């Protein structure tokens, strides 16, 4: 199968089944990394950091980033459109139907049942981020520098109620300084 078509299908399916927002796309992206080798898991961690640090939805940012890294701006547009197409189509359908069925017990139960799946997908993404951030892959031991940095930043963020922009800026500077 043509790689571009395969990428479009994979991102379309990710957009269709990543219920719960951008963080829910991370398990799908991890699977793509392992299955196709289009990008490494280490690169995925970088993508998450960049996508979280830039304006816009994280899932869309990651799709665009992956496409650009894989094969330039055109592929970034293709991956982005493939990811958002299901949401666009579903919203068109739902907006037509939901008003009629909004009070339906079946629809309310459907959304109630989806909540645990959304939490599970987001938790899975959090565990993946934890693994790539706090574990050293070669030794399967804790990265104490990152763990200490996380603890200090969490404490400072909570105690001084920092603006998220300030926290992201501090982390970006620390990342640069610590990598020198």
For every residue of 44-68, DSSP letters joined together read HHHHHHHHHHSSS-HHHHHHHHHHH
141: helix, coil or strand?
A: strand
Can you tell me the distance from the alpha carbon of 162 to that of 165, in angstroms, rounded to the nearest whole number?
A: 8
The whole-number pLDDT of residue 136 equals: 78
Q: Do 98 and 66 lie in a common domain? A: yes
Question: Which residues make beta-bridge pairs with 142?
Answer: 135
Can you tell me the distance from the alpha carbon of 143 to that of 45, in angstroms, rounded to the nearest whole number?
A: 15
The whole-number pLDDT of residue 85 equals: 94
Q: Do 32 and 85 lie in a common domain? A: yes
- The boundaries of the domain holding residue 166 are 143-180
Helical H segments across the chain, by residue range: 3-17, 26-36, 41-53, 58-71, 73-101, 105-134, 144-160, 164-179
Of 137, 155, 172, the residue that ends a domain is 137
Q: Do 150 and 127 lie in a common domain? A: no
The whole-number pLDDT of residue 39 equals: 84
Q: Do 32 and 109 lie in a common domain? A: yes
Q: Do 111 and 151 lie in a common domain? A: no
Can you tell me the distance from the alpha carbon of 84 to that of 130, in angstroms, rounded to the nearest whole number?
A: 27
The whole-number pLDDT of residue 9 equals: 93
* Counted domains in the chain: 2
Q: Do 104 and 169 lie in a common domain? A: no
The whole-number pLDDT of residue 146 equals: 83
Q: pTM score, two decimals?
A: 0.61
CA atoms within 13 A on the CB side of 171: 21
| pLDDT block averages, 10 residues each, the chain of length 180 | 88 86 82 88 82 81 88 92 91 79 80 86 82 77 85 88 84 81
Q: Do 133 and 147 lie in a common domain? A: no
């Amino acid at each position: 199968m043509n790689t571009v078509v395969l990428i479009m299908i994979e991102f379309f399916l990710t957009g269709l089944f990543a219920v719960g927002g951008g963080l829910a796309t991370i398990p799908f992206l991890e699977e793509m990394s392992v299955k196709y080798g289009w990008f490494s898991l280490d690169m995925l961690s970088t993508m998450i950091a960049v996508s979280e640090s830039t304006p816009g939805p994280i899932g869309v940012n990651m799709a665009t980033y992956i496409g650009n890294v894989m094969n330039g701006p055109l592929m970034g547009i293709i991956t982005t459109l493939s990811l958002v197409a299901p949401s666009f189509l579903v919203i068109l359908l739902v907006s037509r139907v939901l008003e009629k069925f909004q009070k339906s017990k079946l629809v309310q139960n459907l959304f109630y049942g989806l909540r645990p799946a959304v939490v599970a997908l987001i938790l899975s993404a959090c565990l993946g981020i934890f693994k790539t951030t706090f574990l050293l892959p070669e030794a399967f031991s804790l990265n104490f520098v990152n763990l200490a940095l996380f603890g200090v930043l969490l404490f400072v963020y909570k105690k001084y109620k920092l603006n998220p922009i300030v926290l992201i800026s501090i982390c970006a500077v620390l990342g640069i300084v610590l990598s020198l």
